Structure 1
Amino acid sequence: MKRVLGLAAALLLAACSSQPIRSELPPAEREAAEIAQLDREAVLRADPDWALEGRIAVSNGREGGSGRIDWRQSGSAYEVSLSAPVTRQSWRLSGDASQARLDGLEGGTRTGDDAGALLREATGWDIPVVALAEWVRGVRAQALGSAVVQYGANGLPMRIEQGGWVIEYVWPEGAAGKQALPTRLDARRGEARVKLVIDRWADAP
């Protein structure tokens, strides 16, 4: 997997570097943004089937990799495919809340009951798959409990701190409302870093 994604990590990490964090909203505006976010999270969780296409870069402080990503989510079930177009190599992570399967690595298929742990064991990279499935839509991860959220002038999250992770967002120009979806996020915890650039959102087939 490291060789699969290792061709352009530095370029993608630079291309999707975080935007400067803006000042927090005044208290009254923040309260309104939090109420709107709760409504938005309820709407998005009621529609748990989605898909995205984009680019991903991951790093553990010493090694990194990047490639194309195709993510299909249906409730708790997921199928995440990554590929390096130049080498034409790819791998696929699939599973649900209770099991995970990783295909495409040297040594054959690997399975486990925790997708994040499976990836750490196989690659050395820290990718919080289950939480990321919620964070990627700008929603707090239910399994991780309390979170600190900072909101931008558009009333949407510009930063979520949860479970030791910090996630920063970029939204499309003019984005607003309950079904707004980000175009970019940067998640980091210690030396672990995951960056996603979303080229296309869609309903899961």
Structure 2
Amino acid sequence: MNVMMWRAPLALVMVGALAACGSVPKRQATPVAAEVAQVSAAAQAAEQARQAALMAQPDWSFQGRVAISKGRNGGNGRIDWLQQGPAYQVSLAAPVTRQSWQLSGGEPGQPVRLEGLEGGPRSADDAAQLLLQATGWEIPVAQLAQWVRGLPTSAGMAPEHLGFDADGRPRVLRQQGWQVDYLDWYPAQAGRPSLPRRIEAVNGDAKVRLIVDEWGVGAP
């Protein structure tokens, strides 16, 4: 793949999805920035530039660790996300059971396809509904392509709340029933804008926790 990568080692605790839960050694936690009541003009301009740079790059990817839970059902695993314009391929792998799934879709007018299930692949028009029916996990797939980069989704309802940290980056986003907390960020470097490192999204008893180990930008 002709993709530029940025790396950072992480060893954080995750609870929640894809397999039976297991303990993970903790590292010293980075203090979480607080949401501020007012953002400086310079920070607002920097965030506008960050968003513009991300919107101008439709091809990107990330690799990381995800924890998903729905009530008492959950586990944790690896996640690889490849985005090419509206199309995505998301691979999930559970280290304990060595089971893996691949979700692909996003092309206008084309169904979403989920592979790796007993009985063979399944297809549907709605990715979140397909995952909920097939696995019991509630994952806002359509919104995550924006939320994972620290952007409100442009489809559907506008955010009920979007709060920022002192650097002007999103800290708390509430949209379409979900609250997304941005708990840690990669700083901008080598022409790459700042991108989230650690995210938590909650909707009732559904929770998705994501740690991004590696961001990629560019066409494969």
The TM tier, using the shorter chain, reads 0.7 to 0.9
What residue number does 1:167 align with? 180
What residue number does 2:7 align with? none
1: CA distance, partners of 2:192 / 2:93: 32
Which moved further from structure 2: 17-26 or 186-195?
17-26
In the TM superposition, residue 201 of structure 1 has moved relative to its aligned partner by 0.5
Contact kept, 8 Å, 1:24 with 1:151, in 2: the verdict is: yes
Deviation string 1:95-143 (CA, Å, 9 cap, x unpaired) is: 1154200000111100011111111111121101010011000011111
> Structure 1: which 4+ aligned runs deviate by more than 6 Å?
none
SS at match of 2:130: helix
Aligned residue pairs, count: 197
CA RMSD of the aligned region, Å?
2.6
Contact kept, 8 Å, 1:18 with 1:168, in 2: the verdict is: no
Q: Which of 105, 111, 119 is the matching residue for 1:107?
A: 119
Unpaired runs of at least 5, structure 1: none
Deviation string 1:14-47 (CA, Å, 9 cap, x unpaired) is: 98x9976724232x52x65445434322221110
Confirm or deny that 1:183 pairs with 2:197.
yes
In the TM superposition, residue 61 of structure 1 has moved relative to its aligned partner by 1.3
What residue number does 1:149 align with? 162
Task: Give the letter for the 2:121 counterpart.
Answer: T
Normalising to structure 1: TM-score of the pair? 0.84
Q: Which of 175, 192, 207 is the matching residue for 1:193?
A: 207
Task: Give the letter for the 1:153 counterpart.
Answer: A
Confirm or deny that 1:25 pairs with 2:43.
no
1:200–1:178 CA distance, 2 compared to 1 (3 A): closer
Contact kept, 8 Å, 1:36 with 1:178, in 2: the verdict is: no
Normalising to structure 2: TM-score of the pair? 0.79
SS at match of 1:125: coil
User: What is the aligned-residue identity percentage?
Assistant: 46
**Equivalent runs, 1:46-195 vs 2, <5 Å:** 46-97=56-107, 98=109, 99-147=111-159, 148-172=161-185, 174-175=187-188, 179-195=193-209
Of Structure 1 and Structure 2, which has the larger fraction of its residues in helix? 1
1: CA distance, partners of 2:192 / 2:173: 17
1:70–1:174 CA distance, 2 compared to 1 (3 A): closer
